[in-house]
Structure 1
Amino acid sequence: MRKIINYLLICMPAMLFSQNGGSIINFSTTSIANYSHDSLIKNNYSETFTTEILKERLKQLNNDTPFIVEHNATVERIIRLYLKTRKENLGVLLDKAQYFFPMIEEQLDKHNLPLELKYLALVESALEPTAKSNMGATGIWQFMYHTGKEYGLQINSYIDERADPLKATEAACNFLNDLYQRFGDWDLAMAAYNSGPGNVTKAIRRAGGLRNYWNIRQFLPQETSGYVPQFYAILYLLEYANEHGIFPNNEQLAYAETDTIHINKKIDFKLLATKLNTPVDFIKKLNPQYKRNVIPASRDKKYVLSLPKSQIADFIAIIERENLSLTPNREPNKRIEINPANSYTLKNNDNLNRVAKKFNITLSNLKKWNGLQTDYVIAGQTLVVDKDAKSKLTEKNISIPEPKNVIQYTVREGDSLFIISRRFENISVNQLRKWNNLEGKNYLMPGTTVKILTSTK
């Protein structure tokens, strides 16, 4: 998978860590809070950070995790460069991590995967659910379209579950587990997550069968050759953030302070934000999977809406009494609605000229009433042939007095129930069907006798 973060620790612009360029969502007040990155770093902090200290800490991480965490010049260079040029961004990452990591850790634990894989999402996207690479990889786990679909993520015009942190994390766990089962090594599995298993297999072959990441690194794509070192640098920097005087701003809403509701009604975020007296950007931030800021209605599936727990009760009260879907302000369609009283179903060999003559209307009106720009029609198609005929006489909720006089009518060549109904005043197709037990039948054999009840003798 091609990723949005190319040499994250080395050349990532500071803005990516906060898409608003130094501002994040202040979840506690549901407003945008601008702050100085320097406030995230203790001003009185100082430490002589030597290579020996780094080696001891990496050794401890090696003992505490299932990864082979070793000191090498590449990892140290990335760590030091980041501490020198991007240190303030680590505080922003810690803020985001406080929200996303509890959910990610829960899913990793559920799939029996190392919890430290949570740091891979930082390398992938800086924990931005709406992050999208030039190649189209999307979400905190940067799934490409086809890989996302392969691992069960729904992607359509309204929803992109690659941007759903929970759904994407579940898919990433399954993908990482598959890669580990294939390669039996977490370094190779992570490399395959970045570049695809084919590139890792090719690199192993070009390296003469060697399977240590650091031995095949030179044969991997350039991005992937820096990907695993970035992971170990991030792993170290966030595990030892306190030792380097890096602290979160603690303005993010905690994951435990949110809850989800399953709904199948259409909900527009603008209306919802107004009713909850909450900025729409805040609702979008909690529900990034909805591409058009609308949760679509569904008969057979319920969608998830995330909100702070403090607003759940208000939402339930609102959804029970109000419609939260916006109807677009569109010019109404001027077409005539088809109903049994105003329409005719074409038969074989019918054409527009023949139909116009049959119902004594102009070809121009026939095309106008049906929105036709060409003369092409097909058997079985239903056309409006009388723009003034009303359907309300056929509606079930209107009581129509039954005529008392009976006429026996003999069907002629070319007759249909509609044509016969037009020969008699105030007679509908549905009445003809009812009086003659013709439900579901459209064709009448010439010579057949049908019963017609009229009010006239």
Structure 2
Amino acid sequence: MKRKFTTLFFCLALLGALPAVSLAAGASDAAPQGALTAAEIRLEAGCAGSNDAASEFEGLEKGDCANEDGGLAYSELIVDTASFEACELEAEDKVADGFSGEDALPACVNPAPSAVSSLDGTGAVASLSEDDGMPEVPIVVNKSVESFINYFQTRGRKYFERWWDRSEDYMTMLQSILREEGLPEELSYIAFIESGLNPRARSKANAVGMWQFIRGTALRYGLRVDWWIDERMDPEKATYAAAKYFKNLYGQFGSWYLAAAGYNAGEGKVARAVRKHNTEDFWELASHKRPFRRETKEYVPKYLAALLIAKDPVSYGFEPAAYNDAVLYEKVRISQATDLRVIADAAGTTVDEIQRLNPELLRWFTPPNYPDYEIKVPTGTAQTLVENMEKLPPSRRIAFQMHKVRRGETFAKIARKYGTSVGPILYINNMKSAKYLKPGTVIAVPVRSDGVARSKGTKKDVAFVYMHEDFQS
């Protein structure tokens, strides 16, 4: 046990997670040269930037390596627990108990500070309160920026146009949230180059959503990620989380360019670079062979190129965006798991529209144990949904249990065990075929009251869902 703790302590020290290793520390306190950050480890695992610009952006559009880090990993956040697994389990337990937002933050994770601080040239920490606001992103045009402008105008034009068209749906909302949080709206174009504003984007490193959060960072900033829902794919909630993250990054570095580099490569890597080269100038840091990889060196100029084009698209050969076509919706609180078909019928819309407005939903149902969850519905339909949901008969509310598949079990065997049929099981789990069922997989099983009694589960394992009548057992 002692040896295991010593190993963990050493790993935490290498990753810069121990609170004793602060940004204001001297060289003797810095992480050892050559130590990999969590972001670098993920890069070594196969998410390094492509050597070919066209393939890199094509991959990004397909959700490949849009951001190898996207934020802190648990190994960079734990401050008072003995294992990474314990921290993650604590976060999952809090979500399972119905907590959300900041209330879901595990005790083993440093909460996002309400005030941020930055380093001056001497390494001293200067205070920056939320009331002071944040400065705008400075615009620099140099050869690196011009090269990406040229790329977006030529070889990468088809990708940029695709993202530009998507900005009509989301950019108004993103910029409104950033302004609300006291941040410059120009940061919205970080999401532009991270994912092409695709809320369903997923990288090889499992960074997900428009802002490309990894799971640990999502949990840290209050997003729910579980079997039912992945709020990294909720453009609104993910943008609020990204805003908190950017406040912390700017507070740490006092520079939007270094904050952007930290978003891409991890703040630990950027902090070590600042200390090693004794400069807070991103362009000077990027001129060295190390410490940044090519992807991070190109990240800021790529972002600035996108920002310059967005500010004056006509001058760069693009059509102006029609922001009047932004995605509009209303939100209705759904206190218990409900079939999306039931919601669509009650709101007088289609399931496809409900899924388009709520990409975070991973199943055909809203999540259980989430009493504050709000479903997005087309503008003008919220009141209709509320009125029709109140009319739903109790017979439409059925129970379900979570079942871990054992070796040799089939859907038919599981259905018989719980007194249901295969069809509802496939439906509730969003599965199309009953042929493939791997041992260890956890599935939801609709059950009758007698099915609950026959199964080995307890009442604590049971949740309820409003299910469409066509799929009730």
Structure 1 segment 206-285 matched on structure 2, within 5 A: 206=276, 208-217=277-286, 218=288, 219-247=291-319, 253-255=325-327, 257-273=328-344, 278-285=349-356
What do the CA deviations read for 1:184-220 (whole angstroms, capped 9, x no partner)? 11100110111111110222233x2121001111321
TM-score, with normalisation over the residues of structure 2? 0.55
User: How many pairs does the alignment contain?
Assistant: 291
Amino acid aligned to 1:111: E
Contact 1:10 1:82 in 2 (8 A): no
Kindly state the Cα deviation for residue 9 of structure 1 after the two structures are TM-superposed: 6.7
> 3-state SS of the aligned residue for 2:225?
coil
SS state of the match for residue 294, structure 1? coil
Contact 2:168/2:321 (8 A) holds in 1: no
Provide the C-alpha distance between the structure 2 equivalents of 1:194 and 1:147, rounded to a whole number of angstroms: 13
Which residues in structure 2 correspond to 1:330-369 (within 5 Å)?
Answer: 331-333=415-417
1:75 matched to 2:135: no
Letter in 2 for 1:234: A
Unmatched tracts of structure 2, length 5 or more = 1-38, 64-134, 401-411, 420-452, 457-473
Structure 1 contact 129–139 (Cα < 8 Å) conserved: yes
Deviation at 1:262, TM superposition (A): 1.2
Whether 2:376 is the aligned partner of 1:306: answer yes
1:128 equivalent in structure 2: 198
- Following the alignment from structure 1 to structure 2, what is the Cα–Cα distance between the partners of residues 152 and 304? 15
Rg larger for = 1
Give the counterpart letter for 1:291 in structure 2: L
Structure 1 residues 231 and 87 mapped into 2: Cα distance closer, same or farther (>3 Å)? same
1:307 alignment partner, SS class: strand
Match of 2:229 in 1: 159
Q: Is the Cα contact below 8 Å between 1:268 and 1:325 reproduced in 2?
A: no
- CA shift for structure 1 position 240: 1.6
**Offset, 1:94:** 2.8
Shift of 1:265: 2.8
SS of aligned partner of 1:295: coil
Q: What do the CA deviations read for 1:89-113 (whole angstroms, capped 9, x no partner)?
A: 4333233222212221222112211
SS in 1 for 2:331: strand
Distance 1:243 1:315 in 2: 46
Of residues 220, 237, 253, the one that matches 1:183 is 253
SS of alignment partner, residue 330 of structure 2: strand
Q: Please point out which of 239, 243, 249 is paired with 1:173.
A: 243
Q: What percentage of aligned pairs have identical amino acids? A: 28
Give the partner amino acid of 1:281.
D
The one-character-per-residue Cα deviations of 1:34-86 (angstroms, maximum 9, x if unpaired) are: xxxxxxxxxxxxxxxxxxxxxxxxxxxxxxx8233222111111111220123
Report the alpha carbon displacement of residue 248 of structure 1 after superposing the two structures with TM.
6.1
Question: Cα RMSD between the aligned structures?
Answer: 3.3
Q: Write the distance in 2 (CA, Å) between the matches of 1:222 and 1:133.
A: 18
Q: TM-score, normalised by structure 1?
A: 0.57
Contact 1:258 1:308 in 2 (8 A): yes
Displacement after TM superposition at 1:5 (Å): 10
Give the conservation status (yes or no) of the 8 Å contact 2:144–2:301: yes
Kindly state the Cα deviation for residue 247 of structure 1 after the two structures are TM-superposed.
Answer: 2.4
Q: Provide, for residues 100-153 of structure 1, a one-character-per-residue CA deviation record: whole Å limited to 9, x for no partner.
A: 122212221122111100111111111111111111111111111111111111
Contact 2:333–2:375 (Cα < 8 Å) also in 1 = yes
User: Which amino acid in structure 2 is aligned with residue 232 of structure 1?
Assistant: L
